[in-house]
C-alpha cells in the first residue's frame, strides 16, 4: 500500500516534535542556595563585649531585579542575563537574610538573633539594616555584592556605623555552582564587616 505524501510529512513533523520535546524534558532545572559560614572557619572565639547580645536583623531591602527565582549574571557592566535552568530554592531574599543572620550569630557567638519585624517587647541591643544594591556576578570571573548598611544600638537607636560595602569575590570555576559559592563568600565578608562594627562598639 502506498503512503500518501501528506502522511509521510506528518510523520516527519511528529518525529521532530518528539525529539524536541524529549530534549526539553531532559534539561531539568538546577536549584541553588547560599551557604552560611561554617563554625570551624571562624578563626577567633575570643570573648567579646557583644557576646550573647540580642541582635535584630532588618529591615533588609534588595534591588528589584533580584526578586525572582532565576540566577542573574552580568554579560557586561550594563547588561544582565537570566539563567534559563539555574534557579534559587524558594525566595532569594529569605535565603539572603537567613544566611546573613546565621553568619552574624556565628561571628558574635550569639543565638539571640531576631528577624524584622520582631515584637516590641524584645530588648534589641543592636539593630542591623541593609539595602542591597547589587548581588550578581559573571560566570568564570567574579561575584559582586554592593550594600549600604547601618548599625544602631539600644532602644534609643544610637547610630554606631553607616557604611557602603563594595565586595568582589573571584569565581573559581566556569559554572553556576562556582558563582553561587563566590556569592556566599561575598555575603560572609559583608557579615564580617557588620559583626566587626558591633564588636567594636561593645554591649552596654
pLDDT interval class at 77 (50, 70, 90): confident
What's the confidence (pLDDT) of residue 5?
52
- What digits encode the pLDDT tens for the residues 136-178? 999 999 999 999 999 999 999 999 999 999 999 999 999 999 9
pTM: 0.84
Residue ranges per domain, the chain? Answer: 46-201
What's the confidence (pLDDT) of residue 147?
98
The percent of residues above 70 in pLDDT, for the chain, comes to: 81
The percent of residues above 90 in pLDDT, for the chain, comes to: 73
Provide CATH code, domain 46-201. Answer: 3.40.50.10610
What's the confidence (pLDDT) of residue 16?
58
What's the confidence (pLDDT) of residue 6?
47
- State the average pLDDT for the chain: 87
Task: Please give the full DSSP string across the chain, using - where no structure is assigned.
Answer: -PPPHHHHHHHHHHHHHHHHHHHHHHS--EEE---PPPGGG-------TTTT--EEEEEEEE-GGGSSSEEEEEEETTEEEEEEEEEESS-HHHHHHHHHHHHHHHHHT---EEESS--TTS--SEEEEEEEEEEEEETTTEEEEEEEEEEEETTTTEEEEEEEEEEEEE--SSSHHHHHHHHHHHHHHHHHHHHHHHHHH---
- What digits encode the pLDDT tens for the residues 35-57? 999 887 675 555 666 778 999 99
Amino acid at each position: 500500500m502506498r503512503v500518501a505524501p501528506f502522511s509521510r510529512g506528518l510523520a516527519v513533523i511528529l518525529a521532530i516534535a518528539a525529539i524536541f520535546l524529549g530534549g526539553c524534558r531532559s534539561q531539568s532545572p538546577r536549584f541553588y542556595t547560599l551557604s552560611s559560614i561554617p563554625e570551624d572557619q571562624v578563626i577567633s572565639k575570643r570573648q567579646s563585649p557583644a557576646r550573647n547580645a540580642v541582635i535584630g536583623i532588618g529591615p533588609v531591602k534588595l534591588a528589584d531585579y533580584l526578586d525572582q527565582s532565576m540566577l542573574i549574571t552580568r554579560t557586561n557592566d550594563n547588561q544582565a542575563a537570566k539563567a534559563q535552568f539555574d534557579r534559587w530554592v524558594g525566595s532569594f531574599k529569605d535565603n539572603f537574610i537567613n544566611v546573613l543572620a546565621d553568619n552574624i550569630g556565628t561571628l558574635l557567638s550569639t543565638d539571640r538573633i531576631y528577624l524584622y519585624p520582631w515584637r516590641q517587647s524584645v530588648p534589641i541591643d543592636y539593630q542591623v539594616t541593609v539595602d542591597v544594591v547589587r548581588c550578581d556576578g559573571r560566570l568564570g570571573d567574579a561575584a559582586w555584592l554592593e550594600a549600604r548598611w547601618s548599625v544602631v544600638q539600644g532602644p534609643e537607636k544610637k547610630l554606631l556605623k553607616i557604611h557602603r560595602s563594595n565586595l568582589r569575590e573571584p569565581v573559581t570555576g566556569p559554572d553556576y555552582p562556582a558563582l553561587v559559592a563566590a556569592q556566599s563568600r561575598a555575603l560572609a565578608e559583608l557579615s564580617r564587616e557588620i559583626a566587626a562594627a558591633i564588636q567594636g562598639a561593645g554591649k552596654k
